[in-house]
Structure 1
């Protein structure tokens, strides 16, 4: 599956912001009542642990180590494999367990919990306590629930103690600004939305650290798209395994990801 999440698709994110603002409280109540229903089921579906092992020059992906190799039929029990089976790390994160991250989550009206380039998405920024600040048509929300299944982009290196110590104050002060007060400036789906809030805050931090500003295009291409591609591969693999039990690939094919760095990494 190809993900094309360009700035033009950010209107999909703005629709997500709009939905969060207009029906935020109702959605929060529904979320409490819908434990175990469709949205949670979709998230749990993506949280299944995927096992990766190698045998007979094949990369094998499955939910449980099989007794025999699905490629050659050789018994695997008690035999040495080329590499020990490992669990693939999930690309999803509980946003409330993150610190100083930009978060991308499905909007409340995105019932399938999809992260595709055309689905409605919403963005926010976590403080050091996992509270997610996110902009909607009603202003800035400070969510303590609702971001347990999302994509995270670290914004601060762990050793940047001076910035970590001030992060919550910076985020709170920025959120109180008139640009995010609906009395002073209205939410706009195209150019004043949840992503605008996140990017303007990030660029303010970058300026304080002596770095140049990031455009929407640059930030999306460098930090969002790589994670979206990983999510796309992972969800495609999960759905294949649910239907076919195994996925086999030639040994030279890899699912490795580049090491992720924080945005403020110098």
Structure 2
């Protein structure tokens, strides 16, 4: 499953702009971009988000509600989870301790990963 929407970056009027598709005009100064002089040509940036199930023995974060690309602001709470050796997420939420493999962790950031040689000890601790 590919969740990469293709994040683009370009620089115009001394600002870096991130978008999913190039706009017809600069969202900052409203100059027609078809005739613009770019300081940084539009580039596609590496997709930073991962699916938790593909990162066993890791510590992950995601927005408590929604996802990073559509719902996140720096004032929004983040939620932390830990994956076991099979990629199942172990988390604590309002329902208590949860262990599951579901789509709510398909757009998260890996904070740290454990060497897989420690997988048995990692699972035992969870």
Give the TM-score normalised by structure 1. 0.33
Q: Deviations over 1:100-156 (max 9, x none)?
A: 32122455xx4x56666664x543212343222335688754312132233321234
- Point out the structure with the larger strand share: 2
Residues 164, 75 of structure 1: CA spacing in aligned structure 2 closer, same or farther, 3 A cutoff? closer
Question: Is 1:52–1:88's contact at 8 Å kept on the other side of the alignment?
Answer: yes
Deviation at 1:61, TM superposition (A): 3.7
Pairing partner for 1:133 from 74, 90, 106: 90
Within the alignment, does 1:59 sit opposite 2:21 as a pair?
no
Which residue number corresponds to residue 83 of structure 1?
A: 40
Question: Is 2:49–2:108's contact at 8 Å kept on the other side of the alignment?
Answer: yes
Specify the structure having the higher radius of gyration (Cα).
1
Measure the CA separation in 1 of the matches of 2:75 and 2:31.
40
Which residue number corresponds to residue 121 of structure 2?
A: 170
Residue correspondences, number: 118
Residues 166, 84 of structure 1: CA spacing in aligned structure 2 closer, same or farther, 3 A cutoff? same
Measure the CA separation in 2 of the matches of 1:172 and 1:128.
6
Measure the CA separation in 2 of the matches of 1:137 and 1:67.
44
Q: Deviations over 1:76-122 (max 9, x none)?
A: 36x87433312345554322222332122455xx4x56666664x54
- Point out the structure with the larger helix share: 1
SS of the residue 2:116 aligns to: helix
Q: How does 1:52-131 map to 2 (within 5 A)?
A: 52-55=9-12, 57-67=14-24, 71=29, 73=31, 76=34, 81-89=38-46, 92-107=49-64, 110=65, 119=77, 122-131=79-88
Gaps of 5+ in 2: none
SS of the residue 1:84 aligns to: strand
SS of the residue 2:43 aligns to: strand
Q: What is the aligned-residue RMSD (CA, Å)? A: 4.0
Question: Is 2:57–2:122's contact at 8 Å kept on the other side of the alignment?
Answer: no
Residues 55, 96 of structure 1: CA spacing in aligned structure 2 closer, same or farther, 3 A cutoff? same
Question: Is 1:56–1:72's contact at 8 Å kept on the other side of the alignment?
Answer: no
Measure the CA separation in 2 of the matches of 1:131 and 1:83.
41
Pairing partner for 1:149 from 103, 107, 122: 107
